[in-house]
Structure 1
């Protein structure tokens, strides 16, 4: 790979840092402006908005009117629509179209906390021994008005059919179904009567209920999926919108479910998702008002936000929560070098996380414009969103994190020493695998270029291996517990539970199924896991005291920093999102790790007196 973007970026950064180090204040300020801002951190009291550019979110639900067409976008076709599989481009539709036994409450004018609420089940009880959940189904819930179900009522046979199907073919079944994985929590799902579903667990599990709300787990299908339609090409659910049309490489269209049980949501009549794989084309369509809100992950690059706001001031600019870019780097344990923790530590220390934030979050430019920015680094938990505050530690705070924070700090000299101690004084060569399409978003190639450019500075050379996502990457790299050569870039599927302990279980528990990263503490490549990690995760799974559970996850965060069994991400910062003013309730209703698309689509409404539908 030729590192053209990385090379130009590195040259600019080196010039900037050299000028600043030499005390060239005037020249340095000019160069900083050319690079997009300055590097000053916010004051001790926290960043404040002095820009005058931000639109304040407002809950306007009381003024909401039904109707209109919401225009969004996606970046790639769906390899399959099957809701018991997990493909990145289909996430908005798993969330919005399908139903589950429970869901997650939105944050209203605040960040979401992943609190569970009812969906197909209107209520539930947990037995005193915490080994049984009894769900009561919501009466009168209807399937979508499409053949072959034609809006009939949901019944317990649908629930049992869906569980049996998920148990056979679900890509996440190893994380839930005890018959598939003896360490998985769910022993059985039965229906003693027409309104009751009983779930039996093998042991108490603090996040058991949330397992039945995650979009990648137990989605409920009609029993007709067995023989009357193919769920790989047709998606039928109970969600607030149904899939009315899908033209491959053109668009996906959703329409409001007329019999959705909650009549106080789902305001727009239709949601259009044109499939736009090229960033420049998507940005042009947004600028022209043909897209009202770019989809998260395929939206306006942070470096383009300020210029777009200057060019089209009618577009509203909002501060969103913590926003990060890039996917996880996972290790192939067939490569002996990667079984040495010193090599993994060196790869982590080669990353300049603050530079990553400067580049992809455009943090200096936002700060220079007077916008408030808070930076965050990833640790072992695979998210930096606010829902995990208190559960995870930020390595930027070396005092709070402890001595293992150094493994996240950019230190080229120390990284080279670690490689030399591991026997690679002259560097090493690694295969670098990932999808060749836009399944990870349109920015994925540039993200990889920057990451591998940083690691090249310690002598690591990468041989690119870009392959088909569905037919090659998933079966050969994503779902094989690290049994491959080199490194790979992995996005989904997301954890089977968004609870912090569930996230750690998904990635690091040796009996988690295909999601387990595949490491072993003995560095033999046998995939046996780390006994200390397994012990602490198991302890956290059965600890129902929140503060005690937080203490366990924080200590695991410190321990895993040294082991560096994966690099979950680099860093992120306060995000800035854009929407045309026609979209009301934007940033007023928030999701966290689960159901963000569903929450947005349910609570946004269109004020057709505002741009771009009516010019100012």
Structure 2
């Protein structure tokens, strides 16, 4: 804690730091109390972690899927990390400053960092990563760094980003999955995707690649030259590939594996595993991605294009039942497009309680009267093919909407078919969930802005929703440097969206992370088990 406090005092003392960063730093200083005595970490041992599905590659700059980050987050690092409140913390950058006008971000890099092959990590690697490698290979990073006018390195341990205009969300763009630092000496001047070193990834993290037995396991070993003295504590991490959900639950139950995360465990298995004496359950560690689930609706067909029809469908769903009986208590009922743990959340807005009678009244109002069979409208629903829980949700939606006279035809498909149908707008309704990445300008606006209606592209505005006022408010909030004014813009856009109901928000999802009680410090930041595990240790007495 002493190093972190010293760092925060340096930040708080800098007159060049943006006001948006001063307040969080001061709050952390005020909250810092006496150090709490902790059990001394033990060194050595191997940690066993589930990874599923098996990653296609371990180079995080080339692939940012969840399983890749689970493994590669221990190999690669970003400039910053983020605590559970999304406040930035040092990683490869030991300190940073933001100019008062929000246009200049200056990072001071640690001076004792080496790549796994022994070459020094310098500012050259940061410039290469953010101006050449990631803009070519990483869609999210490409968007984030499109706001940058120039990236320069005054010396080997200083990097300066000059923005074209203020972009307050930029401080959230440096987490390991958003901007993993890549070795310039390995990739510069090569075909990044075909580089022979992709088979043996080279990062700066606390663990190095050792072995990959396809279909079985991936083994990482301790980086003996890691820049934090005495870390990591573990000798190795073995990531176990276990395709079957029942087998994953059994592996946790028997102690064969120590950690699960994200969708490793089906929600209906959670109560049983939670009761086991050797396992701890936490839902922390997902604050940065802040997953939000919803029902997507194609606005290109009537009556789906009518906001009152979408409102009626919302009133017809008991979202507390969905949380408690389908997701077994995991999650919070969503109130709108911004997760309550994400920057910019607005609580004071219209909400939709479960009220089938109000739903019927809205359908009557727009002229959808029931026919002789009690049917007012007929639509198809394509459940997301990601396991039994999502299939159960589809059945519940069908039953619930039938009670207000909306007939639902369920259309099942595989993952490839689902992606093709949704991305090409060949659907009436489906369900999905997306990540928010700590700020509405990074992970929320993309779903609702008109210029992101892109046929063939998943996780864009596949609904075809368009509202010029929403476009304008998201655009203004993206570049607004005054935190109060920016919050006003974000609050206004949320109030508009809950009236238009472009999608039906269901849950602020909470994934269950199970950790064997012999494991310490598995979840310490806003990316949870995707962190680098430098601080993780195992009690070998258990």
Q: Given the two structures, how large is their TM-score scaled by the length of structure 1?
A: 0.69
Tell me the CA shift for residue 70 of structure 1: 1.3
Query: CA 1:218 to 1:351, structure 2 compared with 1: closer, same or farther past 3 Å?
Result: same
Whether the aligned pair in 1 keeps the contact of 2:182 and 2:203 (CA below 8 Å) is yes
Tell me the CA shift for residue 100 of structure 1: 1.8
* Number of the residue aligned with 2:444: 504
Whether the aligned pair in 2 keeps the contact of 1:279 and 1:442 (CA below 8 Å) is no
Return the match for 1:93 from 71, 79, 82: 71
Return the match for 1:410 from 317, 333, 354: 354
Query: CA 1:300 to 1:166, structure 2 compared with 1: closer, same or farther past 3 Å?
Result: same
Return the match for 2:222 from 233, 250, 256: 256
* Number of the residue aligned with 2:540: 608
Q: Distance in 1 between matches of 2:360 and 2:59?
A: 46
Matched, 1:66 2:48: no
Query: CA 1:351 to 1:325, structure 2 compared with 1: closer, same or farther past 3 Å?
Result: farther
Matched, 1:75 2:43: no
Whether the aligned pair in 1 keeps the contact of 2:337 and 2:444 (CA below 8 Å) is yes
Q: Distance in 2 between matches of 1:416 and 1:91?
A: 45
* Number of the residue aligned with 2:137: 169
Whether the aligned pair in 2 keeps the contact of 1:350 and 1:411 (CA below 8 Å) is yes
Tell me the CA shift for residue 498 of structure 1: 0.9
1:206-221 aligned within 5 A = 206-213=168-175, 215=177, 217-221=178-182
Query: CA 1:477 to 1:80, structure 2 compared with 1: closer, same or farther past 3 Å?
Result: farther
312-321 or 237-246, which moves further after superposition?
A: 312-321
Whether the aligned pair in 2 keeps the contact of 1:82 and 1:231 (CA below 8 Å) is no
What is the DSSP-based 3-state SS (H/G/I as helix, E as strand, rest coil) of the residue aligned with 1:97?
coil
Whether the aligned pair in 2 keeps the contact of 1:167 and 1:177 (CA below 8 Å) is yes
Q: Distance in 2 between matches of 1:78 and 1:452?
A: 34
Whether the aligned pair in 1 keeps the contact of 2:150 and 2:163 (CA below 8 Å) is yes
Return the match for 1:133 from 105, 108, 113: 105
Tell me the CA shift for residue 338 of structure 1: 2.9
1:227-376 aligned within 5 A = 227=191, 229-230=195-196, 235-263=201-229, 265-299=231-265, 301=267, 303-308=268-273, 312-316=276-280, 327-363=293-329, 376=332
Q: Which runs of 5+ in 2 are unaligned?
A: 1-34, 370-375
Return the match for 1:201 from 163, 169, 173: 163
* Number of the residue aligned with 2:411: 464
Return the match for 1:120 from 92, 95, 98: 92
Query: CA 1:265 to 1:450, structure 2 compared with 1: closer, same or farther past 3 Å?
Result: farther
Q: Distance in 2 between matches of 1:162 and 1:466?
A: 38
Instruction: List per-residue Cα deviations over 1:260-289 (Å, max 9, x = no partner).
Output: 222355322222221223221111111111
238-247 or 323-332, which moves further after superposition?
A: 323-332
Tell me the CA shift for residue 511 of structure 1: 4.9
What is the DSSP-based 3-state SS (H/G/I as helix, E as strand, rest coil) of the residue aligned with 1:603?
coil
* Number of the residue aligned with 1:534: 471
* Number of the residue aligned with 1:391: 345
Return the match for 2:183 from 219, 222, 230: 222
Whether the aligned pair in 2 keeps the contact of 1:80 and 1:87 (CA below 8 Å) is no
User: Which structure exhibits the higher relative contact order, with contacts defined as CA atoms closer than 8 Å and separated by 6 or more residues?
Assistant: 1
Q: Distance in 2 between matches of 1:455 and 1:136?
A: 56
Whether the aligned pair in 1 keeps the contact of 2:144 and 2:170 (CA below 8 Å) is no
Q: Distance in 1 between matches of 2:387 and 2:51?
A: 9
Tell me the CA shift for residue 554 of structure 1: 3.4
Task: Give aligned pairs, total.
Answer: 488
Instruction: List per-residue Cα deviations over 1:509-535 (Å, max 9, x = no partner).
Output: 44568654256xxxxx5x6x4222233
Tell me the CA shift for residue 143 of structure 1: 1.9
Whether the aligned pair in 2 keeps the contact of 1:357 and 1:572 (CA below 8 Å) is no
Q: Given the two structures, how large is their TM-score scaled by the length of structure 2?
A: 0.77
Whether the aligned pair in 2 keeps the contact of 1:331 and 1:566 (CA below 8 Å) is yes
Query: CA 1:247 to 1:606, structure 2 compared with 1: closer, same or farther past 3 Å?
Result: same
